[in-house]
Structure 1
Amino acid sequence: MNVAVSLGQTHSHPLVVDLDGTLIASDLLIESFFNCVGRNPAALPSLLFSLFRGRSHLKQAVATHAEIDATTLPYHQAILQLIDDARMEGRPVYLATASNERFAHAVADHLGSFDGLFASDKRHNLAGANKARVLVDAFGDKGFDYVGNHRHDLAIWRHAHRCHAIGLDARSLRKLNKFENVDIIEKPNHTVKIWARALRVHQYAKNVLVFLPALAAHAFHIGTLAASCVAFLAFCVTASAIYLLNDMVDLGDDRLHPSKRRRPLASGALSVHSALLAIPILGLGAIAACLVLPWMFSVTLAGYVALTTCYSFWLKRKMLGDVVGLALLYTARLIGGAAATGIFLSEWILAFSLFVFTSLALIKRYTELLVRLDGNLPESSSRAYRKDDLMILAALAAACGTNAVTVFTLYITSDSVRQMYTHPYVLWILSPILLFILARALLVAHRRQMHDDPVIWALRDRTCRYAVAISFLVVLISI
């Protein structure tokens, strides 16, 4: 247990501030754990082994392998103001946290507002009753004001002169209100809008790909539509769970990014504890959907989960491997739609989807590098690309887009298309439209007008919507 206290001051009632969930809108143990595992999955067994030796050993092991940037952490402005007010009154301020001493010192050094700190070390976990005992020994019973956020802090508030609480749950709040000198600091709630952003509801549009096998096969009966809808929901909840997991891994990098730092987890608008609770709930929703669909869909969805988990923890840091991984994730949605409805998916569609989605994935990476180049940001630690790779990525994106158009053109000249469509020659109009959309996406990215995700850009772009509407009419005429 680290104790760094200067007791030479004569002021009474020093202010003692908790760190996780109080000073910052996050939890450094959870953050650093996912940071460590995300960058080195092989470290997971040793971290789990350290947990069997106690939480203090786990915190020490994680702190040894993980890095945090104290300058980018989501600090609660109300708590920072409380600290400033105490210092203006001439009162000493201390940091007391269950986080490891290495992280505590990083935060204290960054803020420069503390006269000392208390933190966990390899042998002692400074939480709950342990923290209460240390603070009473240092300042005496009722000899300090304490700021906390968790029900475990009730053991500390019981000995505090004044109790400051932020984000406390309702049950613990009722217990706290029985104490004297209680100050409740309001904290923004997790609104529906915040959850929608964290779950990436706007990304659900990608999952309409599960309907493509039924549309391509002209299978428009109720049973096929219902199965496709259930498959769509399954991919939505699964993708949301993976997005939350991915955001947990990328918290440090996201906070350095001009736009990603506003994401709910990176900004602290959504707590990491809430995200961890939501992931298994979303997983149960996906399992429920699988129970009403053919077993092949469950296999496909399991493969999607395995691939996207591999992408989050390993593949996205591999040059071009991340691009192929993204393309396969899109293609998995097509396979899932076919598996849910029992429709055979032709090799033409698989080849086309692989090329077109690889092109879009390359444009996505191209856009990210442009942001770093224009913002004079350092090279990303979570990506294997450098800023001077821009021209290569653009060339590869153009090549894959051209190949996608070529495959589509060969497909519409095949015998199977002639059997399915009354006027198959009309489908030739789609080739220049597709070439226009892909080429325009690359040009828009080059002009710094691309969304973080090219698929979302295509759905929002007015010109692309017109092109899709025309394409839909062309297909109807050809039928």
Structure 2
Amino acid sequence: MASETMASGTATFERTVSQGECSQVYVDLDGTLIRSDLLLESALAFLRHAPLRIFSLVVWALRGRSYLKARLAEHFDLDPAILPYRTELISYLRELKQSGRNLVLATASDERLAQRVASHLGLFNGVLASSEANNLKGKNKHQAIEAHCGNSPYVYIGNDSSDLHIWKHAQAGVLVNATRRTADRARHLTNITAEFPREPVRLSAYIKAIRVYQWSKNLLLFVPLITAHLWSNLEAIVHVLFAAFAFSLCASSIYLINDLFDLSSDRAHPRKRFRPIAAGLVPIGNAVALSVALLLLGLIVAAQLSPLFLGVTVAYVVTTLAYSLSLKTYVLIDVITLAGLYTFRIIGGAVALAVVPSFWLLAFSMFIFLSLALVKRCSELQLLSKSQGTATRGRDYMTSDLGVVQTMGVASGFAAVQVFALYIDSDEVARQYSHPEMLWLLCGTILYWLGRMWIKTARDEMHDDPLLFAARDRGSLIMALLSMAIVFAAV
């Protein structure tokens, strides 16, 4: 369908060119050539490691949009090779260039960023872009185009309502991902020779972006419900359900923030480059707004349970943000923090139920979740090794660390089993279980499951998130059902 549109558009364009002797084609960048906005991307990159820099953004913005763009461009290490280009439009432009047309990149982005994109693509004969003194948008862009082409006929390719003034004076135009209102108005202003229809807003892209499938991790909030033997208490179950929902909303908010700040590293990753924000399927502005809305809703739900649970939720959010913004870039600190975040969920469940989590439960969770966090790093390092890489982008690991990480992960798993074995012999178990000796069978199921996870990792069969892998793995599900049966038998 896209190729048919491109072919017919090229033919119509050729007729328009031959009639008006127009050889100049001006192409917009943000939202047209790429599915993103370089101003927003440069701002996110600027705030990535120092969120308090937002005050600098405010000061720069007060001096004008062009000044803001110039300052951000100085700090933005743009890699044009990984931007989310519209490949069908690039193919169309290549055909125009082969037919002898002069292509000029005309964008409101800063001239330094625009030059990098133009140099990478090798399509353009020139670049018109914003400078520190001039924001090249709307009428300013029109004036720059008129000056560049010497008032000769030209074609403009764009997407935004701010481009309407340019289309009004262009001999012809091409619409790319324009809204219905903008497209209708553009058709009344000039001869539209080709259209690349607006990509529909897909709910599935937003669901994927907020990672609803990750909500299954918040089943960990139900662990204190089981260990406190409150599984038959309807009020307790409702409390934990609300607690899990609050954590899920907040977690989705942080996932969006994480993806916004990790645009460059995600686009360079063989799997993560398909994430909706990195691929340009979810606009950056929409992602920011959705993140704020989810966070506020999550905190409101948490506040309905208790002030203490709200405090735990805020602490969870702060720790997750710290991980996303900084801690995940440090070797080992990242996996220890991940293990702590899993344990946070167990603490959250206990607070929602107003019970005190035992020392044994917290110690066991830290060791087993550290093992699983190291599984995740191992799977990433193996993938990197297969692609002939040497160091992870945005992380502090190298492929040479794989052996050490595997050893630490397996050792941490065995430590978790040892903690559980010591727990079985404690007075606490004797008080809570009628047949505590049955719990020894759990040591076997946990050993088997952890061993299975690490063997799957060594065979390169592990998804980069072990808990999600376990949720779909038949062997893991069998072990989970068997473990539940053992616990009920011990009661």
**TM-score range normalised by the length of the shorter chain:** over 0.9
Matches within 5 A, 1:360-375: 360-375=372-387
Are residue 456 (structure 1) and residue 460 (structure 2) matched? no
Point out where structure 2 has 5 or more consecutive residues left out of the alignment.
Answer: 1-19
Give SS of 2:108's match. strand
Instruction: Report what 2:147 is aligned to.
Output: 137
Matches within 5 A, 1:62-461: 62-139=72-149, 143-182=153-192, 183-220=194-231, 221-461=233-473
Aligned partners of 2:160 and 2:429: how far apart in 1?
A: 63
TM-score (structure 1 length as normaliser): 0.93
Aligned partners of 1:257 and 1:90: how far apart in 2?
A: 37
Q: 2:29 aligns with which of 10, 19, 28?
A: 19
Shift of 1:178: 3.2
CA shift digits 1:20-44 (9 cap, x unpaired): 1110111112222222322455654
CA contact (8 A) 1:11 1:91 kept: no
Give SS of 1:265's match. coil
CA shift digits 1:256-291 (9 cap, x unpaired): 211111211222222222212211121232133123
CA shift digits 1:83-120 (9 cap, x unpaired): 12322332211101111111111110011111111111
Give SS of 2:107's match. strand
In structure 2, do the counterparts of structure 1 residues 252 and 211 end up closer, same or farther at CA, with 3 Å as the change threshold? same
TM-score (structure 2 length as normaliser): 0.91
In structure 2, do the counterparts of structure 1 residues 82 and 240 end up closer, same or farther at CA, with 3 Å as the change threshold? same
CA contact (8 A) 1:32 1:63 kept: yes
CA contact (8 A) 2:105 2:118 kept: yes
Matches within 5 A, 1:35-74: 35-39=45-49, 41=51, 43-74=53-84
CA contact (8 A) 2:167 2:190 kept: no
CA contact (8 A) 1:11 1:90 kept: no
Amino acid at match of 2:125: D
In structure 2, do the counterparts of structure 1 residues 234 and 124 end up closer, same or farther at CA, with 3 Å as the change threshold? same
Shift of 1:133: 2.5
CA shift digits 1:279-338 (9 cap, x unpaired): 112123213312321111111111111111111111011121111111111111111112
Give SS of 2:189's match. coil
Point out where structure 1 has 5 or more consecutive residues left out of the alignment.
Answer: 1-9
Aligned partners of 2:450 and 2:54: how far apart in 1?
A: 41
Query: Alignment identity in percent?
Result: 38
Amino acid at match of 2:197: E
Aligned partners of 2:286 and 2:423: how far apart in 1?
A: 47
Give SS of 2:123's match. coil
Amino acid at match of 2:177: G
In structure 2, do the counterparts of structure 1 residues 148 and 319 end up closer, same or farther at CA, with 3 Å as the change threshold? same
In structure 2, do the counterparts of structure 1 residues 141 and 296 end up closer, same or farther at CA, with 3 Å as the change threshold? farther
Shift of 1:13: 5.0
More displaced stretch, 359-368 vs 406-415: 406-415
Shift of 1:140: 6.1
